[in-house]
Structure 1
Amino acid sequence: MIRSYRASDLEAIYDICARTGAAGQDARGLYSSDRLLGDIWAVPYVEHEPEHAHVVDDGSGRVVGYILGTADTPAFVKWYRATWLPATADRLVDGDPRDETMLDLHREPERMLMPELTAYPAHLHIDLLPETQGQGLGRRLMTAFLDGLRAAGVPRVHLGMAPENHGAYAFYKRLGFHDIATQDTGALFLGRDV
């Protein structure tokens, strides 16, 4: 079932982010901590805008997927810089060369502010454990998220993704997302009306 995020889901958010963080594949063990990806790509969203976070509950209370994001990317970037960076300063530190790229992204939240994305003020992240994919849950998560943006008066949304994640790309295209050309050569960006 699709339901709103609860604070008790936090550990599941970390786990799912790690288990899907390598272009949709398992990223556990790739970094000094399996929580690193969650601290950058998932948890700030549920901390800042839990009203835009939804999860898939397998019926037993176990969370097996999520969608989360922000209705206002510029405001989120300001919050990330002012609040999230200081809040994570003691745990997201240099020391392991495997973490360098992710820590660089973490410390530069302004990277999310691309001129090509200005017309798409909201952005999202969606992840489902592999055993739950292909069951229509991603589509239902997206519907819940877009409904929330629509209710908040947000006109358009974007997302960034790893170019090698062909399954995700096909999924987004089926949901009406279109490519957005940007200067970023490390990611693909897609957007749509809400």
Structure 2
Amino acid sequence: MFEIRLASPADRAALYRICLETADSGADGTHLYQDPLLVGHLYAGPYLEFAPEYVFVLEDDAGVCGYVLGVLDTSTFETRLEHDWRPALRAQYLDPVNVRPQERTPDEGLMHLIHHPPVPDPGVLSEYPSHLHIDLLPRGQGKGQGRQLLERLFSALREAGSPGVHLGVGGRNTRAQSFYRHLGFSELRGFSDGGLILGLKL
């Protein structure tokens, strides 16, 4: 039996764990990272900290097995990260500026992102100001729970007045790309590595 509920601060460790265990294009990324908290610091922690009203978890008898994380306004969220989240991480993780990009370890790749975060595309934000991340462990997949998680988030974003939501998906994660397209997401931007930015009008 699955339950979807609003996340609480007590879920932080579970969110970080799931973030890591889905970090290899949807598969378990535990083997890729020496620091098991690093992925969560970028892609889970700040959402629970600064936008908890848009963080929903999927729970079964064994515990939390998935989540969707969202923000209402990406620009406002990015400003908050730059002032209140990234400074502590930058003090903790050095910028691997002297390591060539192709030689960086997965940890160093994320450390570089902490110091040089990507700039959101204004053309995307003008129509799709909200964004999200969703991750489910295998035991929560294939049962319609991902769609239900997203519908909970979409409802909250609509109620707050968002006109659209976007997300990024890696080129290797073709299963996720198909899932999002099936839900009505359309391609907004494409990249040379096969990665996509997809958007959905709310």
Using structure 2 for the length normalisation, give the TM-score: 0.88
The list of structure 1 runs, each at least 4 consecutive aligned residues, that deviate by more than 4 angstroms after superposition, is: 94-97
Amino acid at match of 1:166: T
Structure 1 residue 10: Cα displacement:
0.4
The yes-or-no answer on 1:190 pairing with 2:198 is yes
Structure 1 residue 94: Cα displacement:
4.8
Decide which moves more: 25-34 or 65-74. Answer: 25-34
Show the counterpart of 2:122.
115
Amino acid at match of 2:74: T
> Is the CA contact (8 Å cut-off) linking 2:67 and 2:149 kept in structure 1?
yes
User: Aligned partners of 2:169, 2:35: CA distance in 1, in Å?
Assistant: 22
Q: Deviations over 1:32-56 (max 9, x none)?
A: 2111111011111111100000000
Amino acid at match of 1:147: S
User: Aligned partners of 1:169, 1:69: CA distance in 2, in Å?
Assistant: 18
> Is the CA contact (8 Å cut-off) linking 2:167 and 2:198 kept in structure 1?
yes
% of aligned pairs identical? 39
User: Aligned partners of 1:141, 1:103: CA distance in 2, in Å?
Assistant: 30
- Aligned length in residues: 191
Gaps of 5+ in 1: none
Using structure 1 for the length normalisation, give the TM-score: 0.92
User: Which residue, out of 4, 7, 24, partners 1:5?
Assistant: 7
Structure 1 residue 90: Cα displacement:
4.2
Structure 1 residue 89: Cα displacement:
3.3
Amino acid at match of 1:64: C
Gaps of 5+ in 2: none
The secondary structure found in structure 1 opposite 2:69 is strand
> Is the CA contact (8 Å cut-off) linking 1:36 and 1:92 kept in structure 2?
no
> Is the CA contact (8 Å cut-off) linking 1:20 and 1:129 kept in structure 2?
yes
User: Aligned partners of 2:69, 2:122: CA distance in 1, in Å?
Assistant: 22
User: Which residue, out of 16, 21, 24, partners 2:23?
Assistant: 21
Paired residues for 1:54-133 under 5 Å: 54-59=56-61, 62-94=63-95, 97-98=104-105, 99-109=107-117, 111-118=118-125, 119-133=127-141
Show the counterpart of 1:44.
46
Amino acid at match of 1:146: F
Amino acid at match of 2:24: A
Amino acid at match of 1:170: S
